[in-house]
Structure 1
Amino acid sequence: MENPIQGPPPGTHAATDPHLAAGYSHGQGDGDVDLTIDRAQYKAETPLWKRIRQHSLTQMLFISVQAFCGPALSDAISGLGGGGLATPKTSNIRFALDQGVEAIVCLFGAVLVNFIGVKWSLVIGAASFPLLGASYYCNSQFNNQWFLIATAPFTGTGFGFWNIAEGAYVMSIAPEAKRGKYLALWIVSRNAGQLVGGAINLAKNAEKNSGGGIDPSTYIPFIVLEALALPFAFGICEMKDVEMRYIVKTYLSKIIYCSFIFIIWSYFYNGPWSTYLALYFSVRARALSSLICPFFCIIGCFGLGYVTDLKGYSQRRRAQFGFWLIIVLNVAVYVWSLIMQVRFVRNDPGPIDWSDKRFSEAFLPYFFIQTTGPLAQVYTYWILSSFAESGQDNVRFSAALKAIQCVGNAIAFGVSAADSSPLTGMILNCALMVACIPGMWYITNKTPDRIPADVIAEEMALEAEQRKKMEDPDKKDALEEVHTREVATLA
């Protein structure tokens, strides 16, 4: 019989599910519970198709496909500027309503997901994905604005459930030894969706060098791809024991309190700069933007990852480097953007096409904000996880972050809907950046030199090793002999 495989790290889904635990090769269980399983017995009792489905890598692929079909394509539509519509106002109203509802769902998301289960939360979310593309198609093809607005609460609810469940599942299903690779797969799927969406946009609208809305048929591939998420949601294995208590305590914690404005700021740019793109650029220029911006966003995020993973520096020092890098880069982009926007307020340039001489000067501020803006979002996840004492802390931090993010987006798109000029939103964005610096600088200076969860895990592993040695008579005698010698030496 094969040697048993030890259970996964504490607090993970696989720690409570022996089937998924089969995908793990090391780690410790919670407390003194023996979470080892007999792999041979598992293989004998479980059909091959079921073992493949239950494997942690398969489950990560399932969640990654949904991320590709849902949030990534939603970002691609948003990246068209005003959702690709002729005027951005209706789209801004819709996104404001959508994000407001999503914020409410995320606020209580951990409790709700715990009640209905992670799998069914993902199913609810995936079922709402096609409504987004369908609502924009109906508006563009039939000028049906009521449907665009009416679907916002449904997509906001669906995406709220899905995002909270996704965060819980991704952090729980990845084996510790392969966590980096699994999370990289998830991140790539989100950005790949935006790249595919951008390619669709450009292919459908490459000839349209004037203003107005995109070709209505552009939304059809989006609807088809969004619908593909649902079957993969049904393939998710239920997470039975994800504890999501202490939600209120998390929201009132000093970490969330001090980073609140920073989180709002890190997502606020979406509203004013999306309106900027919709107002001043041709359809095909906006389509080109939706293709190239995600690619350089990936490069920027990996660059920040390099900074935050620098060897030879403590975690606190790396947190400080990352924070000021983000602030300095965004300040440079804001100055450029404000200069261009003031010019456009004085003299409306009309739809700028990529063939125009002023295209580079006008487009680069939007391009750079789509590269530097997400850096703050990635940094927020990194800095909050630096304080985590367990996997459950990451789940609660993720839920709080998503709720605050939606509040920021709702305000940003609401301001953009009320004021046709992006200038007001840009000025508010600058003000938020200045306001967030004191609280976030306090957090960076309090960042522990090592992740508490890692320290706790090492201490637990050391204690377990000591217990095993004490249970072995030969090792116990050896330890007692060493102790006696140490006492004699000291005497």
Structure 2
Amino acid sequence: MAPSTEKNLHEVESASDSVDNGTAEVVMPVGRKYRSVKIGPVTLPHYASPATQLVIVAFVCFLCPGMFNALSGMGGGGQVSAEAADEANIALYACFSVVGFFAGSIVNYIGIRWSLSFGGLGYCIYVASFLCYTHTQNTGFNIFAGALLGCCAGMLWSAQGAIMMSYPPENSKGRYISWFWMIFNLGAVIGSLIPLGENINATSSGTVSDGTYIGFIVLTACGAGLAWFLVDAKSVVRNDGSRIILMKNPTWKSELLGLWETIRSDPYIICLFPMFFASNWFYTYQFNGVNLAYFNTRTRALNNTLYWTAQIVGAFVFGYCLDYSKIRRTVRAKVAWVAILVLTLAIFGGGYAFQTGYTRESVSKEAGYVSKDWSDPGYVGPMFLYIFYGFYDAAWQTCVYWFMGSLTNNGRKLTNFAGFYKGIQSAGAAVIWRLDSKNLAYMSEFASSWALLLGALVCALPVLLIRVKDHVSVEEDVKFSDETVAEIIGTADGKPMAHDSEKV
């Protein structure tokens, strides 16, 4: 290649990323205009495929939120008392609810990699605050770390939701959601095995070891770094040659206005808000009101491992069933709703029978309560209940993501949907963690969880009956973007269509 040509290649200001007969087409400066130039044979890397990108983001969440879930599932952040964890989680979810609601706009502007990496750092600092608390009893650091994580997690989960819902083809969204949820929760399973192994012989209640916290700190830091192995969303191409629908030239103004435009163009999403609000409410009761209150340290670790393992099973079952191609998508949505309703009645019905056996006061230290161990008679029943709680959580979350993904394929809109989801979800979590810190009765925590889930299902039903369609056209989706149909769809031979590459 001539030196002058090499120089021009370094001055390329934009690329169409399109492929035509094995050659890349880039936009090069020619005088005062830009024209497309062929620069040689290339092939689309598998690395930039939706599946590969989903696996990478799943491992980011495996290492960051996965370790957070493993720690939270121990009850009290691994401490003897839930006081520090309650204060940290109130700050976390209060900030998360605000930042999360607007996170879609931030992610659309700064991009996937920055959002995920920044989000991962928040998890690292959060875990470090509990290691500090073990030695200093400094609740202030826990509260600060929780507030910071709320800001970081809002961006991480909005970016994750956009990838999981907008990257896959329509007929694979359930499977992509299940792959993500299985890998993500495998992180919580492995994270739970750490305290289980370290406390296997500890039959009394206590704080998890420093080694557990240090292990979690290292893993969450690795997750923040892994985010940089992702590619930009504009570089992702599906097998059929189609691209992710985005804004080519996002600005802060366009993306903040996009929040209002999302609700104005899709007002029915408001009917899903109760499902969002209820989706993390029950965690507080399950982690603190059951696992922390009723069991000793090693049994809490075992329950935690079983809980997140059941999540993997639940995600697999529901994810693949939601993509069952022999049944129309509109029918699958209704069947999923009925399945969740039956599970809500059955599993929480068993939970009610269990909760009638104790109160917050009866399992307190003041009452002389001795925490239950897995070797005690009668452990099997509560163990299976806790397993079903984990299965149910995965089923609920998988269905909520699938419902949102069935409404549109527009990446920009789905990023906002994910932000709404995590923001409203966190608002609910902030409320219930605050109530738990005020020693709300365990039966009240349980009853509120059950009632919210049933009410949310009723509110969501009109969306599933009216708005879910068997297919959403590209023409419909690009209305919420500055891209054109020609820039999104693929040609008959599976290669992307070329962009109009000449511009002044």
Is 1:355 aligned to 2:375, yes or no? Answer: yes
Residue 214 of structure 2 aligns to a residue whose secondary structure is helix
Aligned counterparts of 1:23 and 1:128: Cα–Cα separation in 2: 43
Find the partner of 1:74 among 29, 45, 68. 68
Matched, 1:273 2:286: yes
Partner of 2:335: 321
User: Equivalent residue for 1:201?
Assistant: 195
Q: Structure 1 residue aligned with 2:389, among 339, 357, 369?
A: 369
Q: Is the 8 A contact 1:263 1:377 kept in 2?
A: no
Equivalents in 2 of 1:136, 1:453: separation in Å?
49
The corresponding residue for 1:396 is 416
Q: Percent of aligned pairs with the same residue? A: 23
- With over 3 angstroms needed to count, the CA separation of the structure-2 counterparts of 1:23 and 1:71, relative to structure 1, is farther
Q: How does 1:161-240 map to 2 (within 5 A)?
A: 161-171=155-165, 185-239=179-233
Q: Structure 1 65/310 Cα, relative in aligned 2: closer, same or farther at 3 Å?
A: closer
Aligned equivalent of 1:344, options 328, 334, 358: 358
| Aligned equivalents of 2:115, 2:193: Cα separation in 1 | 30
Distance 2:398 2:15 in 1: 30
After TM superposition, the score normalised by the length of structure 2 is: 0.76
Q: How far, CA to CA, are the matches of 1:151 and 1:106 in structure 2?
A: 17
How far 1:352 moved relative to its partner?
A: 0.8
Q: Secondary structure at the match of 1:296?
A: helix
Q: Do 2:276 and 2:424's aligned partners in 1 also have CA atoms closer than 8 Å?
A: yes
How much does 1:402 deviate? 1.4
Query: In structure 2, which of residues 410, 435, 443 is the aligned counterpart of residue 423 of structure 1?
Result: 443
Q: TM-score, normalised by structure 1?
A: 0.78
Match of 2:31 in 1: none
Shift of 1:52: 8.7
How far the C-alpha of 1:420 sits from its partner, in A, is 5.1
- How far the C-alpha of 1:42 sits from its partner, in A, is 4.5
1:126-151 deviations in Å (ceiling 9; x for gaps) = 22221121111122243332221221
Unmatched 5+ residue regions in structure 1?
1-15, 26-35, 469-491
Distance 1:415 1:17, change over 3 A: farther
Q: Structure 1 residue 233: deviation in Å?
A: 2.8
In structure 1, C-alpha distance between the alignment counterparts of 2:447 and 2:196, rounded to whole Å: 31
Verify: 1:157 aligned to 2:151, yes or no: yes
Structure 2 gap ranges (5+): 1-13, 23-35, 235-245, 364-368, 478-484, 494-504
1:427 to 1:179, Cα distance in 2 relative to 1, 3 A: closer
Deviations 1:360-389 (A, max 9, x none): 233333221121123111111111211115
2:316 is matched with: 302
Aligned equivalent of 2:271: 258
Q: CA RMSD in A?
A: 3.7
**What SS class does the counterpart of residue 372 from structure 2 fall into?**
coil
Give the counterpart letter for 2:291 in structure 1.
Answer: L
Q: Distance in 1 between matches of 2:211 and 2:135?
A: 8
How many residues in Structure 1 have an aligned counterpart in Structure 2?
436
Q: How many angstroms apart in 2 are the aligned matches of 1:158 and 1:302?
A: 28
Alignment partners' CA distance in 1, 2:476 and 2:46: 32
Aligned counterpart, 2:108:
114
**CA displacement, residues 97-121 of structure 1 (integer Å, 9 cap, x when unaligned):** 1011011111111222234333322
Deviation at 1:395, TM superposition (A): 2.1
Structure with higher strand content: 2
Residues 289-325 of structure 1: CA deviation (Å, up to 9, x unaligned): 2222222211112222343234443222211111121
Q: Distance in 2 between matches of 1:344 and 1:23?
A: 68
How far did 1:174 drift?
A: 5.6
Q: Is the 8 A contact 1:201 1:290 kept in 2?
A: no
Give the CA deviation at 1:170.
4.7
Q: Which has the higher helix share?
A: 1
Q: Secondary structure at the match of 1:407?
A: helix
Question: 1:450 aligned to 2:470?
Answer: yes
Conservation of the 8 A alpha-carbon contact between 1:316 and 1:447: no
User: 1:432: which partner in 2?
Assistant: 452
Q: CA deviation at 1:449?
A: 3.9
Taking a change above 3 Å as real, the CA distance of residues 289 and 23 of structure 1, as seen in their structure-2 partners, is farther
SS in 2 for 1:228: helix
1:98-113 equivalent positions in 2, closer than 5 A? 98-113=92-107
